[in-house]
Amino acid sequence: MATGRPHRPATRSRGIPEATVARLPLYLRALTALSERSVPTVSSEELAGAAGVNSAKLRKDFSYLGSYGTRGVGYDVEYLVYQISRELGLTQDWPVVIVGIGNLGAALANYGGFASRGFRVAALIDADPGMTGRPVAGIAVQYIDELETIIEDNGVSIGVIATPAGAAQQVCDRLVEAGVTSILNFAPTVLSVPEGVDVRKVDLSIELQILAFHEQRKAGEASPPAAPASIPSGPGAPAGAVVRGRDDAEVRAEARAGRDGDPGDDLPAVMPA
Amino acid sequence: MATGRPHRPATRSRGIPEATVARLPLYLRALTALSERSVPTVSSEELAGAAGVNSAKLRKDFSYLGSYGTRGVGYDVEYLVYQISRELGLTQDWPVVIVGIGNLGAALANYGGFASRGFRVAALIDADPGMTGRPVAGIAVQYIDELETIIEDNGVSIGVIATPAGAAQQVCDRLVEAGVTSILNFAPTVLSVPEGVDVRKVDLSIELQILAFHEQRKAGEASPPAAPASIPSGPGAPAGAVVRGRDDAEVRAEARAGRDGDPGDDLPAVMPA
DNA sequence: TTCTGTGAACACGTTCACAGCG
DNA sequence: CGCTGTGAACGTGTTCACAGAA
């Protein structure tokens, strides 16, 4: 999950619940698949199955969009695809820039689901001069000095940050300053942005840690790691304990003032052959 | 955000709320940074700021772990790092395999936050024979035939799927069959797994779509795309409308029976120099 | 009848506000 | 006094169950 958005105003008149918005892309994907197979209609049960949710939730979700189904029959696939696309704003074209063309940036640039659905990669930007001009996914990488020009010339409002953690806040500031109002952040840092700018975060290591938590529970079903109210040894006791975290990428927050590039760190550049 | 877990049993005795678990890695990162700067104690206010949450939430979260703070003072940084690490199960070593070594798989293999925090990349696996033996992040890629052997020999319980969508379910089935009980899925597909297996999903394009939704709202503040209860034109009307989705990666669910490789699709392989 | 759409009940998560410890 | 820990209030999200359209 991604978090980090500034907190939506309490008065959400006429609005669709966040949880529902987050599921619309799921429905859209399932519907698109049905559409490709020329399936004309689908029941809430079937569609829910394909999207990996339960049917009650799906119906509730759709009820926020309006009454697009037919009782006793189901939903018209094409019509729903259109309605959801429109609701998500995918009927218009969204130019995006990707900053930080390491392996991850390259993966994003090549990602099919990115290029379709109304998202157009307007530019790839990297702080390493050695990357400049190099084609990735058929697009020549541009030097970071061009950032402001690119944003303004293309009317970019969505930026993707795939830089090392240390560069993320600076890149973010420049994006926002240049007019970007939505940011998808892959760097393991908390970004601070002014009011009105949305940030969504995708953190690879956090997801793994959550899995580890549950995995641990499975293993020692009888003996969970228990946090007893009676603390055996007071604070400071296990000082240099088993805790790892050395050479850790995201702990580089201190020297955030440095250069704006520093590629090949936690999210290293594409291997240069 | 990631979804798809089977739904936690209603009786969560002695358990930590999911929402809290999802934030623990955030706190841990902030604490690790403080620890590196040799900060001895931190208040809920400060730590919350560093982690990007509010202090009430943080205190509530910590209250589920036990009473690890000191009133009037704050929390002992080292001690908290240890407690959270232990709670998340990061004091033990988790061997993981990454299946699908395209750009994304390579990015994951190189990712610092992966290698630290107790996660050890036990193997990189790809279905492309051309990748076999090639070193990525210092580890030789192994052919997919070795999958079961690798899992069993290394006691791997966590698998990462970074294959194209079409291969994901098959890879998932093989992982589960071989003994993996936690899966982090980057492929844009809904995976079906037996009871007891956890799946977390990271979907790059879904995050963008959610951003687009909010971005759209900002633009036309006065005129949201409105879903009026009175439908202007009935189902089937905008049949071949503005909806895009052609050449879309995730719509390849039909031919899921094919070979188990198919690299270079939506998540293409590392450019071979 | 079948299946949608939705109020009402419930579960979960967040915030408030303050008691109480150091 | 400062700050944690936590009950209680509140808001959001999910599930239930059924009325009612086709």
Q: Checking phi first, is residue A137 left (phi over 0); if not, alpha (psi -120 to 50) or beta?
A: left
Please say if the pLDDT value at position A25 is more than 60: yes
Residue type at B73 in one-letter notation = V
Predicted confidence at residue B223, as pLDDT, reads 45
- What would the pLDDT profile of B126-165 be if each residue is shown by its tens digit? 999 999 999 999 999 999 999 999 999 999 999 999 999 9
Indicate the length of chain A as a whole number.
273
Predicted confidence at residue A143, as pLDDT, reads 98
A222 touches chain B (CB under 8 A): no
Cα–Cα distance for residue pair A190/B15, rounded to 1 Å: 27
The set of residues, in sequence order, having a beta carbon less than 8 Å from that of B170 and lying 6+ positions away, is B256, B260
- What would the pLDDT profile of B93-120 be if each residue is shown by its tens digit? 999 999 999 999 999 999 987 777 789 9
- The Cβ of residue B49 has, within 10 Å, a number of other Cβ atoms equal to 17
Nearest Cα to Cα of residue A267 among A116, A154, A107: A107
Using DSSP bridges, classify how beta strands A119-126 and A74-76 pair: parallel, antiparallel or unpaired: unpaired
Which domains, and CATH codes, for chain B? 18-88 (1.10.10.10), 94-204 (3.40.50.720)
Please give the average per-residue pLDDT across A126-130, as a whole number.
98
Please say if the pLDDT value at position A133 is more than 60: yes
Q: Using only C-alpha atoms, what is the Rg of chain A?
A: 22
Cα–Cα distance for residue pair A28/A171, rounded to 1 Å: 32
Cα–Cα distance for residue pair B50/B153, rounded to 1 Å: 40
Distance B172 CA to D16 C1' (A): 33
CA A197 to chain B, closest CA, distance in angstroms equals 9
Nearest Cα to Cα of residue B187 among B176, B177, B172: B172
Contacts of B205 in chain A (CB under 8 A): 25, 111, 113-114, 117, 119
CA B125 to chain A, closest CA, distance in angstroms equals 17
> Could you tell me the end-to-end alpha-carbon distance of chain B, in angstroms, rounded to an integer?
34
Predicted confidence at residue B14, as pLDDT, reads 56
Considering only A40-44, A234-238, B20-24, B84-88, which range has the smallest mean pLDDT?
A: A234-238
The set of residues, in sequence order, having a beta carbon less than 8 Å from that of B78 and lying 6+ positions away, is A235, A236, A238, A239, B35, B40
Is residue A17 helix, strand or coil?
coil
Q: What is the dihedral of CA A160, A165, A166, A170, to 10 degrees?
A: 20
Q: How many CA atoms lie within 13 A of B35 on its CB side?
A: 25
Q: Which residue is closest to C12 in terms of CA–C1' distance?
A: B17
Cα–Cα distance for residue pair A238/A246, rounded to 1 Å: 16
Please say if the pLDDT value at position A142 is more than 70: yes
Cα–Cα distance for residue pair B98/A258, rounded to 1 Å: 33
Cα–Cα distance for residue pair B64/B22, rounded to 1 Å: 13
> Could you tell me the end-to-end alpha-carbon distance of chain A, in angstroms, rounded to an integer?
34
Helix or strand (DSSP H, E) at B24: helix B18-36
Distance B227 CA to C1 C1' (A): 30
Low-confidence ranges of chain B (pLDDT < 50): 1-13, 222-273
Predicted confidence at residue A209, as pLDDT, reads 97
